Structure 1
Amino acid sequence: MILNQAGTRRFRAYTSKHLDDLLLRAGLHDDERLKVRAVATVLPFRTNAYVVDELIDWSAAPDDPMYRLVFPQADMLPAADVARLADLLKAEVPAAELLAEANRVRARLNPHPAGQMELNVPRLDDEPVPGLQHKYPETVLIFPKQGQTCHAYCTYCFRWAQFVGDADLKFASDDVEQMVRYIRRHPEVTSVLITGGDAMIMGEPVLRRYLEPLLALDQLESIRIGTKSLAYWPQRFTTDPDADSTLELFEQVVAAGKNLAFMAHFTHPQELEPPLVEAAVRRILGTGATIRTQAPLIRSINDDPALWSAMWRRQLRMGMIPYYMFVERDTGPQDYFAVPLARAHEVFRDAYASVSGLCRTVRGPSMSATPGKVCVDGVTEIAGQRVFVLHLIQARDPSLVGRPFFAHYDPTAVWLGDLRPAFADRFPFEPAAEAAAEEALVAV
């Protein structure tokens, strides 16, 4: 293993060209490996030496949760699609033919859930601003062009479309000046979220190019950074060549009067065990930044309240703030990973009941859907009907935030689109029938 001057490993990525060799470590036979490689022609695969050597228990693979978190599974896609792609791989067809078939499968996987490419695209001087989403009145999301990858890819990732090399599916910008002009013209914007991909894949000079101009915007109260780096490459904050300068940049953001919040993704307690993680967390918190933790509820990986309880309690001891439990989004291999909403609430409730009040900053289970973040508050019976109780934690229409609404109970429902309104003819965020009909006529 190559070492840097600090005596620690340099970052080494593993991609699909390394996949077959890595699968041998999991004890998969030839036909099993071929099916996994077929899935990897559709869904992106990338991991690194830290994940492979420090997080995965290879003696328990392929059932180890960290293995399942980063390695494709043969049954993540419809069997007919996997068989067709496997046959093409076996026949060693030209790359263009294989790619065409993979793209056909991708097109059926809802690559941009919640209208990522269509909804709330900002405009400046009547021109669209690429790489920005004005998702809520006070919040703008920034997708840096240089942050459109990660240290490793999660198999459940709802932004998988950013990583497959199709320019039509990418959503990114490197025009920092345009970004700043847009925010300045919208004084209602008080918070930005730098996301991707993973913002922390960027080196300090590039990250500084995005952060420093934001410090001059008095309207901004908070800057958030979405990242999985603490789990997948904590060396980014300890021994990487620009670790110290990155932390100095964080101090600069805090000194400018901005709340700097790390939105750190931890999906399983195993990700918190290496000592490097604790060291990285201490260094980040030492800059004055906060770390809020979030993750989706994923079947076969963390659908157990004891895991969530252990994870939240460990995070609290390390100085982090439990923030969100998400519902797996309606994209990619959702059918493989999704947990029914009724079960999701049970997992959240049981985990929430077993932790102290300081851990109960966490919210969920929450669906990041088109109208906003929809939280499942529970299941109850009203007027003889069994119903889901829900509310919007965040909404594109702020008047809807915090108002409870109801849906007919459905034990198989896994997403908002599977639910039907109860005690009303529509959900609060849906247009009235007359308005919907008028919109349809205009569209025609």
Structure 2
Amino acid sequence: MKFKPYTRHTIKEAPQWEKLSAEQRESVAVVSRVLPFRVNSYVMDELIDWDNIPDDPIYRLTFLHRDMLRPSEYEALRDLVFIDKDEQKIEQMVRQIRMRMNPHPAGQMTHNVPHLDGRPLSGLQHKYRETVLFFPKAGQSCHAYCTFCFRWPQFVGMDELKFDAKDTSELVEYLKRHQAVTDVLITGGDPMVMNARSLANCIEPLLAPELAHIQNIRIGTKSVAYWPQRFVTDKDADDVLRLFEKVVASGKNLALMGHYNHPAELRTRIAQQAVRRIVSTGATLRMQAPLIRHINEDPAGWAELWTTGVRLGAVPYYMFVERDTGPSSYFELPLAKAYEVFQAAYQQISGLARTVRGPSMSAHPGKVVVDGIITLGGEKVFALQFLQARNADWVRRPFYAKFDSKATWFDQLVPAFGEDRFFFQQSSPSAREEEVLEHRISLVAMKRVRETQASSPLGVS
């Protein structure tokens, strides 16, 4: 199958367009002015059940719906698009709606952007000590867009809110100065939209001897679900796999963070071929996705997804909570429901699939997992802990929030047992303390690197 994308400008060319009602077509035309819309022939032909629209989960995952906007917003924008046809007014309203949608949650723009010689690096994020995110400019699109995607500002022309880097030069220099970093996550968009040569230009500089402290290279990708041909039949598919083998042969771990939202994405033959070919290179494939209303609320679906993944050689990794951005009100579920779905799915799988963690929120202070709903001292509470945090001392420290059946995100929770604040809100290390800690970690890391190089032939690890 040849890759053929459809956007809001070309979707009318798709044979399936005639299957949509007038209202559904209108929704795509109106809402796509605000949120990104892109789908492709594989998703249209192989994954969507057109006899079950609009309820088909993959249809809801890729096609836009009027309820993703507030009723007043939708009606006003519809009139501007179809009646007034004033592009200046349309753009003004579109921007107003987008800014209302919390375009960069969890401190991505205000707290995660690192600096080099006093300059902010717009193509990087550094939230956790061990991990740096890299956004290559050529990878800031996807084979198809998910309607819930928390990275939607990357795709809609909001340049002032976009993360991208032209090349790896600043990334490499930053990593040289931050020896505590062990993991680089190449993300987007989707880096797998790049050809093999461009992908190699991002990855191969990370294999240099002076970056020996980088142990893990991750690639965040939805291609495994939306275009598995990338690893099987694309003209440079074999070149991509040879690149994966090169990374593994260098002694580093290569992990593809595969985004699978529904078991239908892993039922096709070519999707399963893609998994087998990826893991045959020595790379690992980890499965992660948010829990999303209208799409994957069925525990049995999660159990099927994780079980199938394990059989093929993939590793179930995360069930996330849908982030508080974009059309979150359309997709969000109460945290209590999220825990119920996770627990019910977890009960159906074997120990090999119980590597999965969740439901987890990527909130401003860190990744917070809902460990349970329990009663302590006569009070019903959420049992919580950080799986990762801005302050490493917070990790795996249990804490409790008052049970709230309607809460859908971390900042809606309040401490249990009459406490005024959560423990991590009491105090935080000063900038100087964080600098000293970073320096100490760097010294330890550099010492380990030197020891490894000294024990290797020719001093090269």
Instruction: Tell me whether the two structures share a fold, i.e. TM-score over 0.5.
Output: yes
Task: Determine what percentage of the aligned residue pairs are the same residue.
Answer: 55
- Map 1:291-440 → 2, pairs under 5 A: 291-423=285-417, 424-432=419-427
1:81 to 40, 53, 73: 73
What amino acid is aligned across from residue 57 of structure 1 in structure 2?
A: D
Determine the C-alpha separation between the residues in 1 that align with 2:342 and 2:23: 38
Counterpart of 2:395, as a letter, is V
1:173 match: secondary structure:
coil
Single out whichever of 124-133 and 347-356 deviates more from structure 2.
124-133
Tell whether 2:278 aligns with 1:284. Answer: yes
One-letter code aligned to 1:278: Q
- The Cα shift of 1:92 comes to 5.2
Matched with 1:206 is 198
1:429 deviates by 2.4
In the TM superposition, residue 21 of structure 1 has moved relative to its aligned partner by 5.9
Query: Residue type matched to 2:246 in 1?
Result: Q
Q: Secondary structure at the match of 2:51?
A: coil
Q: What is the CA-CA distance between 1:97 and the residue it aligns to?
A: 2.5
Is 1:215–2:210 an aligned residue pair? no
Residue equivalent to 1:232 = 226
SS at match of 1:59: helix
> Retained in 1: the 8 A contact 2:136–2:186?
yes
Q: Do residues 179 (structure 1) and 179 (structure 2) align?
A: no
Q: For residues 140 and 199 of structure 1, what CA distance do their matches in structure 2 show?
A: 15
Cα shift at 1:430: 1.8
SS of the residue 1:422 aligns to: coil
Whether the 8 Å CA contact 1:297–1:344 is kept in 2: the answer is: yes
TM-superposed CA distance for 1:24, in Å, is 6.4
- Using a 3 Å threshold, how does the CA distance of structure 1 residues 167 and 23 change in structure 2: closer, same or farther? farther
CA shift in 2, pair 1:181/1:296, >3 Å:
same
Gaps of 5+ in 2: 431-461
Establish whether residue 64 from structure 1 lines up as the match of residue 59 from structure 2.
no
- Read off the aligned partner of 2:423 and give its amino acid letter: P
Tell me how far apart the structure 2 counterparts of residues 17 and 37 of structure 1 sit (CA, whole Å).
9
Q: Secondary structure at the match of 2:184?
A: strand
Matched, 1:145 2:137: yes
What's the Cα RMSD here? 1.5
Give the superposition deviation at 1:118: 1.2
Residue 245 (structure 2) aligns with:
251
Q: Distance in 1 between matches of 2:24 and 2:259?
A: 30
Q: After TM superposition, give the deviation of residue 120 of structure 1 in Å.
A: 2.7
Count of equivalent residues:
426
Indicate whether 1:12 and 2:4 are aligned.
yes
Q: Secondary structure at the match of 1:206?
A: helix
Shift in Å at residue 22 of structure 1? 5.3
Displacement of 1:240: 0.9
Match of 1:97?
89
* 1: CA distance, partners of 2:15 / 2:231: 30
Deviation at 1:94, TM superposition (A): 3.3
Does the aligned pair in 2 maintain the 1:25–1:58 contact within 8 Å?
no
In structure 1, what residue type is equivalent to 2:56?
Answer: D
* Secondary structure, aligned partner of 2:218: strand
Q: Is the 8 A contact 1:259 1:289 kept in 2?
A: yes
SS in 2 for 1:105: helix
Q: Of residues 237, 254, 278 in structure 2, which corresponds to 1:260?
A: 254
* 1:224-259 residue CA offsets vs partner (Å, 9 max, x unmatched): 000000100011111111111111111110010000
**2:438 equivalent in structure 1:** none
Aligned to 2:186: 194
Distance change in 2, residues 1:23/1:372 (3 Å): farther
- 2:128 is aligned to 136
* 1:14-72 Cα shifts (integer Å, max 9, x gaps): 00013456596474432442233211111110010110011001111111111011000
Does the CA-based 8 Å contact 1:229-1:236 persist in structure 2? Answer: yes
Alignment-mate amino acid for residue 201 of structure 1: V
* CA distance in structure 2 between the aligned counterparts of 1:92 and 1:55, rounded to whole angstroms: 37
1:148, 1:163 within 8 Å by CA — same for their partners in 2? yes
Alpha-carbon contact 2:27-2:64 (below 8 Å) kept:
no
One-letter amino acid matched to 2:413: L
